[in-house]
Structure 1
Amino acid sequence: MAEEKIDNNEELRIGVYVCHCGVNVGGVVDCPSVAEYAKSLPNVVHATDYKYMCSDPGQAMIQEDIKEKNLNRIVVAACSPRLHEPTFRRCVEEAGLNKFLFEFANLREQDSWVHMN
């Protein structure tokens, strides 16, 4: 594997993807509002929510956005990183982005499940 160089001087262009995970997250968390708030954060140039981000259409959306919007950092807020972090790292890598420029926020176990009631 060739060593990849990361340009620390490039303009940050962050994409944020909030997954409903069906009702696992979306039944408790207002996912559209979270995505809307993310748009106001520094360097976030795109944010959206989707029912199942780990699905093929969800991954295709991320890959298209990386290419079309020139995103160079990705944040996915979804269910368990134990299950899906490898899925999304592979997804961004296939779109040409260094897989370590991806962050996973666990909304299911660290937010929706602890606030169900």
Structure 2
Amino acid sequence: CVDQDQPIGLIDHNDGRSNGHPYYVGENIFGAGGGATAQQAVSLWAAEGANYDYATNSCSGPTCGHYTQVVWRTSIELGCAIGNCPGLQFGNAIVCDYGPGGNSGGARPY
């Protein structure tokens, strides 16, 4: 679970996630303590919607890219996994991949 190229205990995006697909694959990662659920991850990502400004297609707060990926209108495939990773700072990792991925080309999510 630990990405050797990252600081101790952190995980990075899978650079090869689009391999074998005819499109870019987007990815959201959530780190949490024991008992973390996919519902918690998606709820946190959805809460970033408060930071998204549709008029300017930008974040008005610290981050909103997880939110825009969750609601991306052309993403039709989704796969998520929960891993118990004792070597991670948070103990668990929840990773969701979206195809086709969003947050590219300056397009709006919806």
Q: Same fold (TM over 0.5)?
A: no
Task: Name the one with the larger helix percent.
Answer: 1
Greater relative contact order (Cα < 8 A, sep 6+) = 2
Q: TM-score of the superposition, structure 2-length normalised?
A: 0.30
Task: Name the one with the larger strand percent.
Answer: 2
